[in-house]
Amino acid sequence: MSTSTPSIRERIVAIIAEQAMLDPAQITPDASPAELGIDSLGLVESIFAIEEAFDITIPFNANEPEKSDFDISSMGAIIAAVERLIAERG
């Protein structure tokens, strides 16, 4: 039995899956939050959960998401951006 720590991707997928009330297997890299049934409030809650889980600050303005420095266009983009923030944190 493996006791390895879940990867960053796995942890993000789990957070998003919980928010979307989906099985993590249904979360694909090219799916947008909207395609997963996540509305703007759900997205904000997901971002807060990700920030807490990884102890990072995500540059996302819920009032002006298009002006945010954080790509929320797809799950793959969100995962890549979070991985980058974690790497920058060192």
Residue 1 is predicted with a pLDDT of 54
Relative orientation angle of helices 40-54 and 8-20, to the nearest 10 degrees:
150
The pTM of the full predicted model, rounded to 2 decimals, is: 0.86
Which tokens go with 65? 């998401």
Contacts of 8 (CB under 8 A, 6+ apart): 54, 79, 82, 83, 86
Residue 90 is predicted with a pLDDT of 76
Residue 89 is predicted with a pLDDT of 84
Residue 33 is predicted with a pLDDT of 94
| pLDDT < 50 positions in the chain | none
The domains located in the chain, with CATH, are 8-89 (1.10.1200.10)
Which tokens go with 42? 């759900």
**Summary mean pLDDT of the chain:** 91
The pLDDT tens digits for 3-24 are 678 899 999 999 999 999 999 9
